[in-house]
Structure 1
Amino acid sequence: MFFRVRVIGRENIPADGGVLLCSNHINNLDPPFLGAFLKRDTRYMAKSELFTKPVLKGLLPKLGAFPIRRGMSDRQALRTGLGLLKEEEMIGVFPEGTRSRTGELGKGLAGIGFFALRSRAEVVPAAITGSYKPFSRLTIVYGKPVNMEKLREEKVSAEEATEAIMEEIRGLLNRKPGKQ
């Protein structure tokens, strides 16, 4: 009601099967907005610190979020994510691992490439631009799925796969208004 949201590319979200929805991260409201305009439920990987906050620790699991410990290899989060993708769920992730204070796209973390290479999920890039200030324009663009099969065949590293995904997100952020 308070936001003017423009959604582009909703048709690029597969109706079924595992989906890794990868977006830039500019605000705490990104997770609910990224999934709110889609027909599928979106599960989110969220920093483990959020699961210790009084209100959020009960709410986040009910919303389908699962914790990840940042700054280290969190095997449990990786297993949970791969399991959800195998069960044909859609997981929303923010490859940078944290919000951008400047709005510029940062470096993606290798864990996203790991998920993309190890699962058979479709990898859909997304970009959020604009402002969350009331009555401002916010645009969410869902791009076409990234061809991960070629990268799997080439046996690229998780870092290289992450960079390919980040390039797609960068392209969505740099696209001209009105273009897909």
Structure 2
Amino acid sequence: MNFFFHLCNFLQRRTLNWFCDFDKSGVENVPPFGPLIVVSNHMSDIDPSILAVTIKRRLWFLCKYEAFRTFAKRRFLYAYGAFPINREKADFAALKWGVKKLKSNEVLVLFPEGHINYGQMIKAKQGVVRIIQMTDATILPVAITGTERFEHNVMRIFKPTGKITCTVGSPFSLPKIEGKITPEVMDSLNEIIMERIANLLPEKYRGVYNISDK
């Protein structure tokens, strides 16, 4: 499984170097060890691979269960390090899998929005906060730009118009909440996470988390 993950990343790095203007920054902010939750905006199906070639640690992903419906995709996703999650309800199997990875000092990638946003950030779902509150993992915000072109026209990511950036922010932690977490508190914690991501993005990508509009 690790071999397949690294092989895919090798091929993706070559593809980006040959055909795209790819820029990554802030990689020095990645903790070299310990449990880590990577949170990122989500504009394209290629975002996981962009994170994988930027963050020099083995990554694990929670991925929408719809992507696992065909045999070929299922085999690929499991081999790459993904686990299916139902985004429309509390998926305890996915939560258990994610927490287990974190307790093994692994890196778990989560896209709080739960859906591809096609260019502007949308309101986050509450599942990310649930996992964070179940662990002591550090949170690492990451912002991706340029991959939205892939969803509209794959050729647009290539030079001379194709530029993709991946910006890694400073790690942080959320306050630990004792007892039952109300929906209001959940939304407040989500705001903290999403604003950390939004601060790394150009204003046009921030969508509902455009701080200048508040």
Deviations 1:129-162 (A, max 9, x none): 12451121111001001232xx216887333222
2:143 is paired with a residue of what secondary structure? strand
Matches within 5 A, 1:1-180: 1-101=18-118, 103-131=119-147, 132=150, 133-135=157-159, 136-148=162-174, 151-152=175-176, 157-174=185-202
Asked if 1 retains the 8 angstrom alpha-carbon contact of 2:83 and 2:94, the reply is yes
What is the letter of the counterpart of residue 18 of structure 1? P
- Partners in 1 of 2:24 and 2:191 — Cα distance? 25
Task: Decide whether the 8 Å contact of 2:126 with 2:187 is kept in 1.
Answer: yes
Aligned AA for 1:137?
A: K
| Superposition deviation, residue 116 in structure 1 | 1.7
Structure 1 counterpart SS, 2:166? strand
Q: How has the CA–CA distance of structure 1 residues 85 and 158 changed in structure 2, closer, same or farther, with 3 Å as cutoff?
A: farther
Distance 1:123 1:76, change over 3 A: same
Q: Please report the TM-score for the alignment, with normalisation by the length of structure 2.
A: 0.76
Distance across 1 between alignment mates of 2:21 and 2:178: 42
Q: Which runs of 5+ in 1 are unaligned?
A: 176-180
Following superposition, the deviation at residue 2 of structure 1 comes to 1.3
The structure with the larger Rg is 2
Q: Contact 1:113–1:160 at 8 Å: present in 2 too?
A: no
Sort the Cα spacing of 1:154 and 1:142 in 2 relative to 1 into closer, same or farther, 3 A.
farther
Q: How many residues align?
A: 172
User: CA shift at 1:93, angstroms?
Assistant: 1.1
Structure 2 alignment gaps of length 5 or more: 1-17, 151-156, 204-214
| CA distance, structure 2, for counterparts of residue 167 and residue 89 of structure 1 | 24
- Structure 1 or 2: larger helix share? 2
Instruction: Indicate if the aligned counterparts of 1:126 and 1:143 stay in contact, CA closer than 8 A.
Output: yes
TM-score normalised per structure 1 = 0.89
- Amino-acid identity (%): 32
SS in 2 for 1:152: coil
SS of alignment partner, residue 27 of structure 1: coil
CA contact (8 A) 1:96 1:109 kept: yes
Question: Partner amino acid for 2:91?
Answer: D
CA shift, 1:36, in A, is 1.2
Q: Is the CA contact (8 Å cut-off) linking 2:133 and 2:177 kept in structure 1? A: no
